[in-house]
Amino acid sequence: MALLEILLATLIAAHLMALDAVSMLGAATLATGPEVVQDPLRAMSADFTSDHSVLRILRDYNNDGLADMALASSDSCGNKTCSFTLFLQLESGGYVRAGEIGGLPWGYRIVGEKRGEAKWETCAASGEQVTFSSLRISRTSVTGGQSRTLHGVEADRACRWADKFTWEECDMARYLQTGACEWVSKTWP
């Protein structure tokens, strides 16, 4: 009888340990969701070097009525395109690091689809060939990615956007020394 009680106690203890492990796993899964930060620039400052400037674009990228922030180091910019990290503002405060988008700060448009969701579209030209691309931006992430080649009238129609593109720049060396940015506004064209 004592052996049976020991075996039963061992099984119950193992079952409770398994439940604890599942509980911990669930908490870890929730804890490793999208990264939330209070200050996107401070969160990315380790990725920037002092000999470059930081580019920032503030606008509503996901059609939720909140001002989101895209940040890039000027050294990530090539032929009229940059690689930006997108931070989406949360209603509860802070920002979620949603993902990477390219092509900014010029030659893009955001098409709101429903509250909290939008499509980000861009065109890139090489000679006579124009590539039209789009991504989906939700409340917490950047997903998808479709592109196709456009020619002639179709490219002219799909990629004719009336917006003047504005962004701000900050000297990273100054930010690293003082902890503050003096943002300078830029426009194109």
Average pLDDT of the chain?
Answer: 78
Domain identity same for 45 and 9: no
Question: In this predicted structure, what is the pLDDT of residue 12?
Answer: 32
Do 2 and 91 lie in one domain? The reply is: no
Q: What is the mean pLDDT of residues 20-48?
A: 63
Phi/psi for 72 (5° steps) reads -150, 155
The reply to whether 82 and 48 lie within a common domain is yes
pLDDT tens-digit series, residues 40-86: 999 998 888 888 899 999 999 999 999 999 999 888 887 667 889 99
pLDDT of residue 119 exceeding 60, the answer is yes
Please tell me whether residues 51 and 121 are part of one structural domain: yes
**143-160: average pLDDT:** 83
Q: Residue 26: pLDDT above 50?
A: no
158 or 96, greater pLDDT: 96
Task: Tell me the pTM.
Answer: 0.76
Average pLDDT over residues 122-137: 84
Per-residue model confidence (pLDDT) at position 56: 94
DSSP-based three-state secondary structure for 3: helix
- Residue 147 φ/ψ region, left for φ over 0, alpha for ψ in the -120 to 50 degree band, beta for the rest: beta
Q: What domain range is 28 assigned to?
A: 1-32
The number of folded domains in the chain is 2
Distance CA 121, CA 157 (A): 13
**One domain for residues 101 and 43:** yes
Contacts of 150 (CB under 8 A, 6+ apart): 123, 130, 131, 132, 158, 159
What is the share, in percent, of the chain residues with pLDDT greater than 90?
38
**What six digits make up the tokens of 68?**
């989101």
DSSP letters of 117-177?
Answer: EEEEEEEEEETTEEEEEEEEE-SS-EEEEEEEEE-HHHHHHHT---PPEEEEEEEHHHHHH
| Residue 161: pLDDT over 80 | no
Are 56 and 104 in the same domain? yes
pLDDT, position 189: 67
